[in-house]
Amino acid sequence: TMRSENDGNKRPRGNEAAAHGTVAEADVTDVTSRLAELESMLRQALGRIGTLEKKNKAMERETRALRMDLKSLQGENQAMRDDMDEVKEENRALKWSLKQLASQVQESWEYPEEGKKQPYEYWQNKGFDYRYIGDLNEGFFHGVRSAVSDLAHGVCDRVCIGMLENDSDEGRMIQHDASLDPHWSALCQGFYGRINPHGTGINIALEGIQLNKDVMVLICGSLSGRNVREIAFTRIEFTNIRAAIQSLRTMLRRSSLVQSLEWSGIPIESVDDMALFVQMISERHSVLEKLDFGWNGDGNAQALLAGVDLSKYKSLDFDGNNIQTNGRADIPNLIASNSQLEWLHLGSNNLNDDDAVLIAESLSQNSNLKELYLNNNNIHQRGKSALLRAMKDTSSMNALSDSNHTCEVAGLNLEERNYLGPLNRAFKIHNLMVERYRSGEGNVPYFNREMNDEGSVVLAPFVMESVHRRHTAIKERYGYKVRGVSVLGL
């Protein structure tokens, strides 16, 4: 039977045609609906873009206005600095004039206790040689006379009595003698009424001199409540050290302006006396900013480290105490607390590599300490490596970014020094990128490995900052540009 040539392509008939027509219409309707949705979304997006453009323009106007305000404020700030410089210069001129006037008045001034100064023969008959008598005249009589004169004429900002600032005099001591009492009285009488209650305060330094109970009571009583900023006792031989601590404690309780205390080269032998000293310091820990407690011995230093909250201090000096921690972590814990401490002196002690490792670990948690002195200890290569790694861990870019960038460790001749302030992190990151580029592998493979997690979001700004800030810093310092990005293979 012959088939029609159209048999293989028959048109749908009846219900089949109607069904096909309905499907086609549905497809068209669906497409039309989607196009309408897309058009609506596009309109909304365009509307948002328009709104953002308006906001952007508004922000640009605000930014320009802020820049103008900033420029104006910078101008005002510069003007204020200029005015401040002028005021400082005028202040220096007034001080100079005051000293000139005071020196003229002082030429005719007579020391009230001059007649009570014993002659050379008096001291010679007591068995003292010419060197001691010279020390007495220069260190005591001259110091007291100058202080009384300066106090009387209102130009005293520092009082120094005793064997001061001469290494060759170490071990020599001005002994107490009853004939010195009138001169101590004259000095303390000047303290009572002549210390300037205004300004930054006076510094008191006593060194290499023997003080009995009555003189110490007199000194501390005359300084109580006065405008004293710093007080230093160095190599003092107290005839009654417990009474001396009690007198000093009373003075500190009544003198809220004292910011710095030095107690150096005065070992406290009695456990009870040291406990009293620790209690005195504990009472003042929120007021004192600087404590110098050097050359007093390991036992004294350990008692102070363990018994006093030192987190409020800005400067601590424990040089020369022969500190041996034996595993105690008072020093690392203080550093790790990230207190306001900025200077820590630990030179000439007995710290070892284990201590250095603990200190290095604590530095990773500290961003306030500026200088740490570790000279003349028993720290060798292992300890030095740990400290160096704390400041510059190049195992990864994240580790380097998290290193300590604020503390300069002195006294160990380390290769890395944090001496660039806020630029330390930027320079370290930049230098590491340069080293990687020069190694031949470039930086991209490292970044692919190190910046593929959440840390990359935190690290990326530091990487860009390292290039930008180093470029800016070198340009400002040396006057030429650095092609920071191209040489790094980025």
pTM of the model: 0.76
Q: How far is CA 112 from CA 155, 188, 205, 279, in A?
A: 18, 13, 22, 39
Q: Which residue type does 98 have?
A: L
Tokens of 25: 């219409």
**Closest among 468, 472, 469, 429 to 451, alpha carbons compared:** 429
DSSP letters, 407-446, are PEEESS--S----SGGGHHHHHHHHHHHHHHHTTS-SHHH
> For residue 234, what pLDDT is reported?
97
The two most distant CA atoms of the chain are separated, in Å, by 161
Contact between 324 and 293 (Cβ < 8 Å): no
Q: How far apart are CA 319 and CA 307, in angstroms?
A: 18
pLDDT above 80 for 285 = no
Q: How far apart are CA 467 and CA 484, in angstroms?
A: 6
For residues 241-266, give the mean pLDDT. 96
Question: pLDDT tens-digit profile of 306-350?
Answer: 999 999 999 999 999 999 998 899 999 999 999 999 999 999 999
Higher pLDDT, 94 or 276: 276
pLDDT above 70 for 157 = yes
pLDDT above 60 for 125 = yes
Nearest 5°: phi and psi at 345? -105, 120
Q: How far apart are CA 317 and CA 343, in angstroms?
A: 8
pLDDT above 70 for 184 = yes
> For residue 171, what pLDDT is reported?
65
Nearest 5°: phi and psi at 142? -65, -40
Task: State what percent of residues in the chain have pLDDT above 90.
Answer: 55
Higher pLDDT, 193 or 341: 341
Contact between 470 and 425 (Cβ < 8 Å): no
Structure confidence at residue 5 as a pLDDT band (50, 70, 90): very low
Nearest 5°: phi and psi at 382? -65, -45
Low-confidence winner among 14-18, 114-118, 214-218, 220-224 (lowest mean pLDDT): 14-18
> For residue 484, what pLDDT is reported?
47
Q: How far apart are CA 112 and CA 125, in angstroms?
A: 25
DSSP letters, 35-104, are HHHHHHHHHHHHHHHHHHHHHHHHHHHHHHHHHHHHHHHHHHHHHHHHHHHHHHHHHHHHHHHHHHHHHH
pLDDT above 60 for 269 = yes
Mean pLDDT of the chain: 85
Question: pLDDT tens-digit profile of 380-428?
Answer: 999 999 999 999 999 888 898 899 999 999 999 998 888 877 788 888 8
Higher pLDDT, 470 or 32: 32
For residues 161-173, give the mean pLDDT. 68
Sheet holding 228-234, edge to edge: 158-162, 202-207, 228-234, 260-264, 290-292, 315-317, 343-345, 371-373, 408-410
Rounded (to 5) percent helix, strand, coil in the chain: 60, 10, 35
Q: How far is CA 264 from CA 80, 205, 207, 295, 381, in A?
A: 43, 11, 9, 6, 31
The helix/strand/coil state of 292 is strand
Question: pLDDT tens-digit profile of 43-82?
Answer: 787 777 778 788 878 888 888 888 888 888 888 888 888 8
> For residue 477, what pLDDT is reported?
56
For residues 140-169, give the mean pLDDT. 85
Structure confidence at residue 457 as a pLDDT band (50, 70, 90): very low
Q: How far apart are CA 200 and CA 227, in angstroms?
A: 8
What is the residue whose two structure tokens read 């340069």? 434
pLDDT above 90 for 31 = no
Identify the helix (H) or strand (E) that includes residue 210: strand 210-211
What is the residue whose two structure tokens read 């710093």? 230
Q: How far apart are CA 257 and CA 202, in angstroms?
A: 10
